[in-house]
Structure 1
Amino acid sequence: MARMFQQPESNVYVIAMLGFKNPIDPHFLKVADEKNGGEVKWVKTKVDLDNHVKIPMVDQHMASPDQFVEDYIANLTNTQISTSIPMWDVHILNLKTCDAESTLVIRVHHSLGDGTSLMSFLISCCRKTSEPDALPSFPAAKKSRPHTGWFWKFWSVLLLAWNTLVDIWMCVATTYFLKDTQTPLKAPSRAVAFTSRRIVRRTFCVDDVILVKNATNTKVNDVVLAITQAGLSRYLNRKYGKGMGDGESWENNLPNSVRLTATLFINLRSSPGIYAIAEMVKKHSQTDWGNKIGYVLYPFKIALKDNPLDYIRDAKATMDRKKATLEAQFRLFMAKVFVRFYPTKLATFPLTTMWFSNVAGPRRKLAFLAIKSPSLLHLYMVNRWRSQFI
């Protein structure tokens, strides 16, 4: 999976943005080697901090500091980190925004590790603000209780086998010839896809999400996907309405059938959740460092619904269906096969409209390297070829 993230069409970086309550004091290891027959391996190297730590001069009295931070992060998608040095860099922005007094932007190539690995590393560098010497608590995932009874187990095995066969076929079809509907969300051509990216950041209260989750007996991911589906439906309806010229915002301007799928990344570690970095680097650990992820095709149902809760019901039904399949494990297995026995360029990601990824973060306010942070931590996946990342 790491080598797939280094291909030109999926050359992905993870950008982490941390906001701090205080200005940052600016005074406070491996590279890819392809010499042995083209096989990529990681080797130790010396780190020159001048190549990795950037402190740009910014106007402290600019009119829109929040927009500047978003534009600064977006401009990082236009540049790449040389493979001759460790593929990460840090950008210190001593600029007051509506969320923080200063901002730290960390860019890491996705081949070094996935979101779970990066989040574990960042949280392990933090300490509790109430106890400066204490590590923060790590949000481990809760395992659901399995159903008992031979009939239910037999039915689950049949359902798992059927869903996996169907998803494998869709995997091959979407990767090579089955395309999404051409919508305003999708770049019309490869040339347009390589234009500059824009980072849009929205912050909302997790308590509201948990309230809806408890009321509908669903998961947090179900609610987040439902919010995304509702937002995309309204956005496309507005765009198609403008295209027709006389379409009103309350009218249904959507086409009869819109195929819009997302590549949804899933953590495949045997023990999901966020763990301390010391636990992840242990040998034979169930929470290995690296890209221990697979992905599934998530079909967004683009439609206007009278009852907003219908979006949540659709999202839950789709996610329950995706949980009863080995699609993610199959894709990870095929990625390993392709990069081992075939040219890496043949191992491509599906031709979906967008990529969707999220990872649990800290639960309380933390201090990062002795600097207080108001738990403002955002992770972005960025790539010049993919049209949309959520």
Structure 2
Amino acid sequence: MMTGDHVKASRSSHHDEEPLSPAARFFQAPRFNVYIIAIVGCKTRINTDVVKAGLEQTLVKHPRFSSKMVVDGNKYCKNKKWTQTKVNLEDHIIVPELDPNIDFPDRFVEDYVSNVTRTPLDLSKPLWELHLLNIKTSDAEAVGVFRIHHSMGDGASLISLLLACTRKTSDPEALPSVPVKKRAGSTFNSRDGFWWFFLAIWMLLRLIWNTMVDVLLFVATTLFLKDMKTPIKGAPGVELNVKKFVHQTVSLEDIKLVKNAMNMTVNDVVTGITQAGLSRYLNRRYIHSSCTGEEKKLDGRVKQSNSNIPKGIRLRTVILVNLRKSAGIQVAHAPNDPSSSLSVAETYPPEFKQDMADMMAKRLKTRWGNLIGYMFLPFTISLQDDPLDYVRKAKATIDRKKLSLEPIFTSMCIGFAFRIFGNKVAAAIIRRALSNITMAISGVVGAQEEISFYGHPIAYLAPFVYGPPLSLVVNYQSYVNKMTISLTVDPSVIPDPYELCNDIEESLKLIRHAVVNKGLIKDVV
């Protein structure tokens, strides 16, 4: 059984209480207290009264956002459940008084968000809050900062709900639209049935083999298989450190240009530029290590020629995969392709395109909550002579992962451990596995056109995650023709996160330049 919540969007009195799902419980386990931050940059100053009125009619009507967590029982048997409660928006909307002429406003917002994370959310109230900062930054006139506990839902659920609170700037009555994943038409010919049969058998055998290998690697990672110690690998206890949150915007059109030229997906390109950016960043960090007199060998590995990166680095990232199979409230990831975790598969279903109150009244059978699996992806960290090799290697790795049931297995494994051994063991398994790798990467698709948040035009969206035992989490968020790179870092491990952002952006430029120079695409300005 999958570990996610299955919540009907209803405010019926029969659903005033609901047990926490296994996923929600282990997201609240000791040393695995995970939160989601979503920064909304606005093009105008924020009218607090307008936002509150809008939230009253939308977000507060959602059962999860109007429920608090209640703990029953004794120390030997604690029963946690969501219980409906009356929401007082004054407890959830924080509007600090700020000097509009403050020096270094971008740095102020970063520090403000970091300081917010020092204090856990109050369990006596629904586990979310919104900070409204009327301060002009380099890319917005004002900023809204959502903080939501991960037990309330995964990124797919929460980003869809956030988008449900917005409207198209060009049409204030219309919800935003997201890309539709085109399904390939069937080209089956009965005369080729013989070859199709053997191809299907071959693909099935590959699926079984890849799944077995990935399952063994997951078990090994949980028990003993660790990533190599690198300048971006966090030490034990990294989840307890205060994080720093930075973001940077790149061109989505450049990513699509590379995607189309090389017949890839956005996932492939995003993974490729992340590998390329990390390689550039680590090479510079190793140069610094060499200059300070440290050994030029690491764990017995000799540096590659013309680079300072040790050869054969084991560096893995975890990707949270949406396991939903049908259209519903989610708008992020690919429900029909569990391995394609950075793209959108569906538009909103017709019944979702209405006010939140109407949506709740219709009691839609949507799979809300945490319905995710974990996929561990090895990164190739090296300096490539041809920039296009980064995306080629990324595509090869992702294509291989698509023929694996690893995300489903990890979800089932955690659910099984929860039912048999309890919440602490289930949380310890995933925390141990994450502690032995280096980073996490995720991405969600935003609106294709400009949207407004209760009448406030949005300049950008930047999602972050903190709480897992990782020193680096990379999130990608598309919006219109832009892609926001959001980094959650432990500043004691990565003291210069903007350098890493710059390396990822520069890698995209180099890859795009190589595509154009090699003539892989024409009519490019």
* Cα gap change, 1:144 to 1:177, in 2 (>3 Å): farther
Counterparts of 1:115 and 1:294, CA distance in 2: 12
* Kept after mapping to 1: 8 A contact 2:316/2:379: yes
Matching residue within 466, 470, 473 for 1:386: 470
State the AA in 2 paired with 1:177: F
- Identity between Structure 1 and Structure 2 (%): 43
Residue 147 of structure 1 deviates from its aligned partner by 7.7
Aligned to 2:313: 258
State the AA in 1 paired with 2:205: L
Counterparts of 1:68 and 1:316, CA distance in 2: 39
Aligned to 1:56: 96
Residue 57 of structure 2 is aligned to residue 20 of structure 1: no
Matching residue within 136, 142, 146 for 1:96: 136
Aligned to 1:164: 211
Residue 405 of structure 2 is aligned to residue 326 of structure 1: yes
How big is each residue's C-alpha offset from its partner over 1:10-47, in whole Å with a ceiling of 9 and x where there is no partner? 21111111111211112231122231542332111222
Matches within 5 A, 1:1-390: 1-28=23-50, 29-36=66-73, 37-144=77-184, 148=188, 149-190=196-237, 193-245=239-291, 251-271=306-326, 272=335, 273=344, 276=348, 279=352, 285=365, 287-347=366-426, 348-349=429-430, 350=433, 351-374=436-459, 376-383=460-467, 385-390=469-474
* Kept after mapping to 2: 8 A contact 1:353/1:388: yes
State the AA in 2 paired with 1:291: N
Counterparts of 2:371 and 2:206, CA distance in 1: 25
* Cα gap change, 1:259 to 1:229, in 2 (>3 Å): same
Counterparts of 1:232 and 1:147, CA distance in 2: 40
More displaced stretch, 299-308 vs 138-147:
138-147
* Kept after mapping to 2: 8 A contact 1:124/1:276: no
More displaced stretch, 325-334 vs 143-152:
143-152
* Kept after mapping to 2: 8 A contact 1:128/1:135: yes
More displaced stretch, 87-96 vs 174-183:
174-183
SS of match in other structure, 2:117: helix
State the AA in 2 paired with 1:187: G
More displaced stretch, 341-350 vs 102-111:
341-350
* Cα gap change, 1:83 to 1:147, in 2 (>3 Å): farther
* Kept after mapping to 2: 8 A contact 1:75/1:197: no
* Kept after mapping to 1: 8 A contact 2:92/2:130: yes
* Kept after mapping to 2: 8 A contact 1:232/1:302: yes
Residue 146 of structure 1 deviates from its aligned partner by 6.9
Residue 193 of structure 1 deviates from its aligned partner by 4.9
Counterparts of 1:71 and 1:221, CA distance in 2: 31
Residue 371 of structure 1 deviates from its aligned partner by 1.9
Residue 70 of structure 1 deviates from its aligned partner by 1.9
State the AA in 2 paired with 1:226: G
More displaced stretch, 11-20 vs 337-346:
337-346
* Cα gap change, 1:48 to 1:296, in 2 (>3 Å): same
* Kept after mapping to 1: 8 A contact 2:239/2:467: no
Residue 99 of structure 1 deviates from its aligned partner by 1.5
Residue 257 of structure 1 deviates from its aligned partner by 2.1
Counterparts of 2:119 and 2:274, CA distance in 1: 29
How big is each residue's C-alpha offset from its partner over 1:143-188, in whole Å with a ceiling of 9 and x where there is no partner? 4557851111111111100111111111111122211111110123
Aligned to 2:56: none
Q: Which consecutive residues of structure 2, in runs of 5 or more, have no partner in the other structure?
A: 1-22, 51-65, 189-195, 297-304, 327-334, 336-343, 353-358, 475-525
* Cα gap change, 1:243 to 1:333, in 2 (>3 Å): same
Aligned to 2:19: none
How big is each residue's C-alpha offset from its partner over 1:231-279, in whole Å with a ceiling of 9 and x where there is no partner? 11111111111111189xx941111221111111111110334654964
Counterparts of 1:7 and 1:308, CA distance in 2: 42
Residue 310 of structure 1 deviates from its aligned partner by 0.3
More displaced stretch, 141-150 vs 63-72:
141-150
State the AA in 1 paired with 2:464: Y
How many residue pairs end up in the alignment? 386
* Cα gap change, 1:145 to 1:77, in 2 (>3 Å): farther
Counterparts of 1:361 and 1:342, CA distance in 2: 39
* Kept after mapping to 2: 8 A contact 1:13/1:109: yes
The structure, 1 or 2, with the larger RCO (C-alpha pairs under 8 Å, 6+ apart) is 1
Aligned to 2:488: none
* Kept after mapping to 2: 8 A contact 1:180/1:353: yes
Q: Which consecutive residues of structure 1, in runs of 5 or more, have no partner in the other structure?
A: none
Counterparts of 1:308 and 1:128, CA distance in 2: 38
Residue 346 of structure 1 deviates from its aligned partner by 1.3
Residue 229 of structure 1 deviates from its aligned partner by 0.5
Counterparts of 1:91 and 1:308, CA distance in 2: 41
Aligned to 2:510: none
Counterparts of 1:310 and 1:75, CA distance in 2: 40
State the AA in 2 paired with 1:181: M
* Kept after mapping to 1: 8 A contact 2:153/2:369: yes
Give the aligned CA root-mean-square deviation in angstroms: 2.2
* Kept after mapping to 2: 8 A contact 1:19/1:102: yes
Counterparts of 2:101 and 2:472, CA distance in 1: 32
More displaced stretch, 31-40 vs 260-269:
31-40
Counterparts of 2:275 and 2:287, CA distance in 1: 18
Counterparts of 1:240 and 1:122, CA distance in 2: 41
Which structure has the larger Rg over C-alpha atoms? 2
More displaced stretch, 85-94 vs 121-130:
121-130
State the AA in 1 paired with 2:68: V
